[in-house]
Structure 1
């Protein structure tokens, strides 16, 4: 079975990303992931035995960890291959992420690399397929839309591949703290 672990982007930022990806596809034919708006935590991996042990640890992790803020600010790109919304993690969000990577790497069937480990470039893809020949037009087009959002790293979502698409396997909600300090 093939799995991927992401943080779904919710609220206005998620809606904007979905609509922008659709517009880019309709106007230019440039595709993106079939997943909803997200930033990747662990790139797709294969495992053909039960991952219930992983799910138990993810549930425990989500109960312990508090949702933390991050920003989406502006656009960036990987060469002419990918255009994305830039994610700026807060110290708290980055710390939660890094503890999660440590947890993932405790499983023998999960290995992270530079693209999905602690030092990854956090981003939310707008276009990533068939982009090079039309890169300049798409780059100019996306800049017509303001990209400045306050978000919360409040979920870890496990997807599994089924035939032709990713489907939600389970969502792990991080604690929301409405604490006040005096």
Structure 2
């Protein structure tokens, strides 16, 4: 049976470059002090649509659908506040759950399912928990506890405006930005 070539994608919100640089410094800290490098395989981001496979020959359809979706969306404010964890493996920068962010994620998931038949079964069973991962997967339980002692009460606060969705593609080693889709201009 012929299996057409597919790539892995996910859809996310990326913070401005200065906040990405800060988050990357934290990821580097985890690599240097806690032997956790896996989070360095993608730019700092807030996942809206988890990884999915898509036919390489139909990427233009995927992009057209995302362009259509974002043309109906307003820019939104994102707040990052402190650190949180999914014990015993994940530490992340906490993203404040605003009604606008939660609505955007639900609308995107609905759009992806209705227009592209891309369904996140896990996401349908549990609530959206927006976060920006700084350590996961290769963070051992012992290192998790040591790192969480360091980061549990560490202060961090950023506010920024997001005006686009980002489609990321996996190249076999890491996630890279494939394309970006601007939101409908807000009242700026």
Match of 1:164 in 2: 173
Kindly state the Cα deviation for residue 8 of structure 1 after the two structures are TM-superposed.
Answer: 1.1
Q: Which has the higher helix share?
A: 2
Q: How does 1:42-53 map to 2 (within 5 A)?
A: 42-48=49-55, 49-53=57-61
Give the match for residue 42 of structure 2: 35
Structure 2 Cα separation of the partners of residues 130 and 7 of structure 1: 24
Question: CA RMSD, aligned part only?
Answer: 2.2
Gap runs ≥5 in structure 2 = 1-6
Question: What's the CA shift for 1:144?
Answer: 7.0
Q: Contact 1:31/1:129 (CA < 8 Å) preserved in 2?
A: no
Conserved? CA contact 2:27–2:37, under 8 Å: yes
Is 1:16–2:22 an aligned residue pair?
Answer: yes
Listed one character per residue, the Cα deviations across residues 93-140 of structure 1 (whole Å, up to 9, x for unaligned) are 322222111111114541113447883111110100332121122112
- The partner residue of 2:145 within 136, 139, 155 is 136
Partner of 1:57: 65
What is the 5 A alignment of 1:38-117?
Answer: 38-48=45-55, 49-115=57-123
Distance 2:98 2:122 in 1: 20
CA distance in 2, matches of 1:29, 1:16: 19
Shift of 1:154: 2.3
| Structure 2: distance between partners of 1:108 and 1:155 | 20
Counterpart Cα distance in 2 of 1:176 and 1:11: 20
Distance in 2, matches of 1:151 and 1:58, equals: 22
Q: Which runs of 5+ in 1 are unaligned?
A: none
- Could you say if the C-alpha distance between residues 62 and 159 of structure 1 is closer, same or farther in structure 2, counting changes exceeding 3 Å? same
Off by >6 Å, runs of 4+ in structure 1: none
